[in-house]
Structure 1
Amino acid sequence: MNAVTQTNVVTQTPLVTEARRGFAPWAGLTVLLTLGVLLAASADRWQGGWAETAAELHNAVLITVPAAAAAGCWQGGRERRRRTEELWATVPRPPLARFLVAALPTALWVAAGYAVAAGLALLATWPYALGDGPRPALVPTDAGVSGAAVLAGHAVGRLVPARLTAPLLAMAGYVGLGVTAAAHEGAGRYLNPALPVMESWVPVWWQPMAMAVWAGGLAGAAVLAYAARRRWTALLPLAAATAAGALLAQTGDGLWHTDPLARRQVCDTSVAPAVCVNARYAGALPQITGALSGVTGRLKGVRNLPVRWEDRDGGPRDDEAALPSLTPLGWSFVRGRLTDTGEFAREAVGTLVLRGDCPDDRLGVRFERADDAVENYLAPLPSQRYFDDLDSQGDARRRAALAERRAARARLAAMGEPERRDWLSAYFAARAACDPSGVPAL
């Protein structure tokens, strides 16, 4: 009986009541739904990769932090709006305890709303990710920053309890974070919890903790300065925030490093040229090789080809061709699948034919006609007839050029296999050397 009585007493404490009823659960649900709508609307660009999901979740802090601050501000002005300040002051608790009873449930619900949305996003990515693993390192910090924003906003709401304070605070927070995030220089930008991150960036191990201390310290200082009996105690979290902020600002670009996995490639060397994809999408290699099978089949036995199609930052080397980019997700590559294998193959042929850095004055009619014939042979464009019809309606020069291109395509297609292999071998050698005279006649 005593245990039951104690349990009932505990469940009736003001903190639990605030957490179970009233504004706090709705604030958490609002954050969850807002973040869920934002993520659902942009699912095509993050659902196929763990790194993209992590970046999207972190960049959403630009929305959740101002919203959390506004929620805390609205809750902070509640007693003034209800005209129950004097009644609340008669409660036999110190001001700090009364502050935390009103503010802490909202902060916890908001942080939980962000964490649940992040967890659902990670679950949504799991069936489609094809390479690297989950990156949840920033989720606890971003959830904590949102909760800290509630506490700071609550203090503002207590000081300025007008109804317009909450929306104005949200607007100011959004503009402040957005302007700082858009800055391209200055140490202050590294103090921004909503600083956008690239998919290939990985934080150093201590960066999330330093950011949590920075944001939490500022919020704690604001709470203690407003509600503590000994307001000098606000100096303690402020000192911690200052130390963490100084560390973040001084480290600067060193807070992030490139994911080692993003520098690696996984290759299929059973075809020529070999097909290589970034290791972050290693699972996509079979379907990419399949998309290029028509091209590599027609190139079987051809010499002077690039060694591989490569997929890495910095551009291809002299003996390589660039693989059509799979990123940013949401265009040619969505949820682990190529959206148009034919278009992907045509782009790959384009990088194969036009590789190198041939100056325009070295390119002439001979190269243009040969390039057109090779591209149409390796990966014909379905709408080629439409473009040819446009040229056929042009002036005499365009019609003559079209007739020559069509004749070159027909001659290349009509060659026997050995003759065509020799012709293509000579063509790719001339292309690599930027030597129009080396292009065999068509």
Structure 2
Amino acid sequence: MIFRIELRRSSAVWSALLALSLGVAVLVSFPQGFAGRWIQLASAGRTMLLVLVPLALAGGAWLGRREARSRVGELFATTARPRWRRVLPTAAALGVTMASAYVLMLVIGAGWVAPTARHVTVGAVGLAAAGAVSMVTAAWLGLAAGRAMPWLVTPPALAVVGVLVAGLLPDFVSVNSVLSQDRLPPAALMLSPVYVGGLDDFQTFPVRHSLVQAGWFVAVAVTGLLLYGATRPLTRGLAVLPAALGLAVTLPLLPAGAYEGAARPDPVALELVCDDAGPQVCMTRVHANLLSEVAGPVREALAVLAAKLPDAPTRAVESGHPRSFVRQGLMSDPPRYGADTLVFTAPSYGRTGGADLSGDWYLRTLLAEVWRLDCGDQPYGKEVYLAGEVAASWLVGRAVGYDPETPAAYERFLGLPAQEQRARLAAARADVVACRTDALVAVLR
């Protein structure tokens, strides 16, 4: 009964609606970032916490100042009813509405995922669940802060602190750790629910790490609730014990490297799904929803290659091997394919969840990828890039690429006899398949 009254009369619902409105507005402004992929939706939700956690803190602080604002503290203190019976419905109403706002934001985002997604990972569920728990934590901490400091400036100040501490500070520490190249980001960064780095399509986030995070968020939430309900100095002092215990238990369980260290390759996402209605075209399972759209341009590229190159590729396979995991020793080297296989990259997603194939840019990209070395982390020099752009221009029939020297180098190459052009590029293709670049660079001579 009291819980329903709090939902109707308090600011809990309005705070949650504000968080929901802002979260949805930001999320759906870039649907191409998560369309068709559950793990990307869950990852985007954790990024949204950069905005939602500060709002939950501010909403809790606004509600926490209610007694002081209404000047009923002394009146309530004279009643025989225990304080806990008054604060629990308020905290429950705020916690439920804030967590519901986060979940509903993801449900709305799922409208861009569910119709086309072909791969579901339980890691996405763990990411979403831990994010929802963190909203309750932030709301209850805000309640405690609002009661302790019932000033008008407390909610906005708390929101600013939330942005700095929960989002920007961990991101700053993480970036500087990566740039230093001598150490991984500290595991303690996972004590913040905000992850602005994001996962790639071939990664997953183990559920065990989400459970550890959720346990930490629950411990801090209990501390916030105890501080909100405490009336004596001793009780307030003891209220920090759950957070301290949670820190002592969870910090050793968090992985080195924080979120980057926790991410793992998703072998199911890397499985190939093939279309054999013509020259075979294979894509990874996580991108299988794009296969029907991509097969046409890929087969068009194969036809162009067959007309211009001897021993041209007759099938195409998407390259989805996360090279970062190879460097970390989490996966073996990428699979090697022969000269009969064109290894290509999936196109970007559009706003509706399909492939972004506007214009002829993707065909040009596919023709350029026939000169790409899919051989691990071999370094690319300037000459290799330029030679690849000249070779791609020869296939397209006009100068394409980003290097300003490409048009002139392409014109020089066209000055060779047609048979010589064909022979040089055939040798370049054979060298690239063997993970060598000498014949490709010779295109510039």
The TM tier, using the shorter chain, reads 0.7 to 0.9
Per the alignment, residue 127 of structure 2 pairs with 138
Q: Distance in 2 between matches of 1:358 and 1:236?
A: 52
1:132–1:261: 8 Å Cα contact kept in structure 2?
no
Per the alignment, residue 324 of structure 1 pairs with 345
Per the alignment, residue 204 of structure 1 pairs with 206
| Counterpart pick for 2:303 among 281, 285, 297 | 297
- TM-score (norm: length of structure 2): 0.76
1:45–1:334: 8 Å Cα contact kept in structure 2?
no
Percent identical pairs in the alignment equals 23
Task: Give yes or no for the alignment of 1:159 onto 2:148.
Answer: yes
| Counterpart pick for 1:287 among 283, 286, 293 | 293
Task: Give yes or no for the alignment of 1:181 onto 2:182.
Answer: no
Q: Deviations over 1:110-151 (max 9, x none)?
A: 111111111121233212324446732222321121012111
Provide closer, same or farther for how the CA distance between residues 82 and 431 of structure 1 changes in structure 2, counting only shifts above 3 A. closer
Structure 1 unaligned blocks of 5 or more: 1-12, 392-397
Provide closer, same or farther for how the CA distance between residues 285 and 90 of structure 1 changes in structure 2, counting only shifts above 3 A. same
SS in 2 for 1:128: coil
Provide closer, same or farther for how the CA distance between residues 56 and 381 of structure 1 changes in structure 2, counting only shifts above 3 A. farther
Letter in 2 for 1:340: S
Letter in 1 for 2:14: W
SS in 2 for 1:136: helix
- TM-score (norm: length of structure 1): 0.76
Q: Report deviation, 1:158.
A: 0.6
SS in 1 for 2:254: helix
Per the alignment, residue 430 of structure 2 pairs with 429
Letter in 2 for 1:192: S
1:426–1:438: 8 Å Cα contact kept in structure 2?
no
Task: Give yes or no for the alignment of 1:102 onto 2:83.
Answer: no
Provide closer, same or farther for how the CA distance between residues 235 and 53 of structure 1 changes in structure 2, counting only shifts above 3 A. closer
Q: Report deviation, 1:69.
A: 0.9
Q: Report deviation, 1:34.
A: 1.1
Q: Distance in 2 between matches of 1:437 and 1:40?
A: 44
Provide closer, same or farther for how the CA distance between residues 379 and 102 of structure 1 changes in structure 2, counting only shifts above 3 A. same
1:48–1:128: 8 Å Cα contact kept in structure 2?
yes
Task: Give yes or no for the alignment of 1:379 onto 2:396.
Answer: yes
Q: Report deviation, 1:166.
A: 0.8
2:62–2:146: 8 Å Cα contact kept in structure 1?
yes
Per the alignment, residue 343 of structure 1 pairs with 361
Provide closer, same or farther for how the CA distance between residues 359 and 244 of structure 1 changes in structure 2, counting only shifts above 3 A. closer
Aligned pairs for 1:13-412 within 5 A? 13-132=1-120, 135-178=124-167, 179-184=169-174, 185-196=185-196, 197-199=198-200, 200-228=202-230, 231=235, 234=239, 237-238=242-243, 240-249=245-254, 255-267=262-274, 275-300=281-306, 302-303=310-311, 305=313, 308-312=316-320, 313-314=322-323, 317=336, 319=338, 322-326=343-347, 329=349, 335-340=353-358, 342-353=360-371, 355=373, 372=390, 375-376=392-393, 378-381=395-398, 411=418
1:291–1:342: 8 Å Cα contact kept in structure 2?
no
SS in 1 for 2:360: helix
Provide closer, same or farther for how the CA distance between residues 285 and 228 of structure 1 changes in structure 2, counting only shifts above 3 A. same
Q: Distance in 2 between matches of 1:309 and 1:33?
A: 41
Q: Deviations over 1:48-78 (max 9, x none)?
A: 3222111101211121111101100011112
Q: Report deviation, 1:326.
A: 3.3
Letter in 2 for 1:347: T
SS in 1 for 2:224: helix
Q: Distance in 2 between matches of 1:214 and 1:358?
A: 42
2:95–2:136: 8 Å Cα contact kept in structure 1?
yes
2:62–2:155: 8 Å Cα contact kept in structure 1?
yes
SS in 1 for 2:97: helix
Q: Report deviation, 1:26.
A: 0.7
Q: Distance in 1 between matches of 2:426 and 2:8?
A: 75
Q: Report deviation, 1:358.
A: 9.9
Q: Deviations over 1:400-420 (max 9, x none)?
A: x776555669x47xx9xxx97
Q: Distance in 2 between matches of 1:250 and 1:354?
A: 35
Q: Report deviation, 1:31.
A: 1.4
Provide closer, same or farther for how the CA distance between residues 47 and 362 of structure 1 changes in structure 2, counting only shifts above 3 A. closer
Provide closer, same or farther for how the CA distance between residues 405 and 36 of structure 1 changes in structure 2, counting only shifts above 3 A. same
The Cα RMSD (Å) is 4.0
Q: Distance in 2 between matches of 1:233 and 1:16?
A: 31
SS in 2 for 1:260: coil
Q: Report deviation, 1:18.
A: 0.9
